[in-house]
Amino acid sequence: MGNGSRDIVPAERRSIMPRILSVGTAVPEYVLDQDEAKQFAGGLFRESFSDIERYLPIFEHAAIRTRRLSRPRTWFEEERSFRERNRAYTEVACRLGEEAIRRCLRPVGLDPCEVDHLIFVSTSGLATPSIDARMVNRLSLQRHVKRTPIWGLGCAGGASGLSRAYEYARAFPDSRVVLLAVELCSLTFRRNDQSKSNLVATSLFGDGAAAVLVTGDEAEVPYKPKGSPRVVDTMSTTWPDSLDVMGWDVADDGLKVVFSRDIPGIVRQEVRPAIQSFLDRSGLGLEQLGRLIAHPGGAKVLAAYEEALELPRESLRHAHAVLGQYGNMSSATVLFVLERELQEDHLPGTAGLLTALGPGFSSELMLLEWD
């Protein structure tokens, strides 16, 4: 990738571009080593796969060392009802959500009661009142805070929710918007699902939460961190006739994972044209991007990004690092990658692309500029 150090936004337009000020993340306390996950899956799926040893190398190929779980690994050795798993989802989602939001607001000196709009994204559990409503009491949010819960976007949810936060902050430039993404993928695990998709999911998915603060250019914030990027543009793409690529089937005992083996191939074929079309709107070429903030759906997906965009592995180092440490946390994962990106120094005018793929089958893109 190039250094991306040219002005994307004309000087007269920069004052109306919302900024991403901070990111806070949180994970549950139970750590699952990938070797332990492999042993667990080997014992569980052995009866359904006579050649189980042929499939177990996917745990090494996933390039994941550890993941975080909402319950101890032994909890999953017994069959759990959908009701029991969803109760655990609500409990842990509230705890991690509160922690992530507090960590997000602390560096900028904001109190939770100063948040104007809370957007909540999740696809791994159900709650009504939704988790954002529960945050009102836990965080003492103002009673008139606007709330937007979004469900069903899967791995694209973090990027899509961030785009919705940007749009609101642009429409209401004095607003302070918090996006909260919580995914507890481990709690969707169904022991009686002996499909290959569930075996693959067992090798990939973990739990985590992330909160992002987006502010309009007139918003009052005690401290604005140096190097906070402006959001320049966003684009959503949904490819037709692709509903079976990724998602859930709702079963009697919970959510059954749908996970196509064709995803890396779709990335190689479809992602580059979508990104180039998006960058054309700002007069940029791929070679002018300085940073790529990609959702690490898996090691094969990252390799497909590198191949399709002709990138060195170093360009996706934060994505590889997050995948290795936490696995795929669905919508929250790209925000963990964004957190690491914001901790680095950037030359003025550096262009960055945030990207994630999800059910639909869909793509979410966001163009950033550092000044």
- Active site residue ranges: 155
Give the C-alpha separation, 95 to 205, whole Å. Answer: 20
User: What amino acid occupies position 74?
Assistant: T
Give the C-alpha separation, 86 to 219, whole Å. Answer: 37
For residue 245, the Cα-to-chain-centroid distance in whole angstroms is 18
Reading the block at residue 231, the tokens are 């959001």
Q: In sequence order, which ranges of the chain are alpha helices (DSSP H)?
A: 34-45, 52-55, 58-61, 82-105, 131-139, 157-171, 196-204, 263-266, 272-280, 299-309, 317-326, 333-342
Contacts of 193 (CB under 8 A, 6+ apart): 251, 256, 257
Tell which residue, 313, 319, 314, 363, has the closest CA to residue 338. 319
- CA contacts within 13 A on the Cβ side of 37: 28
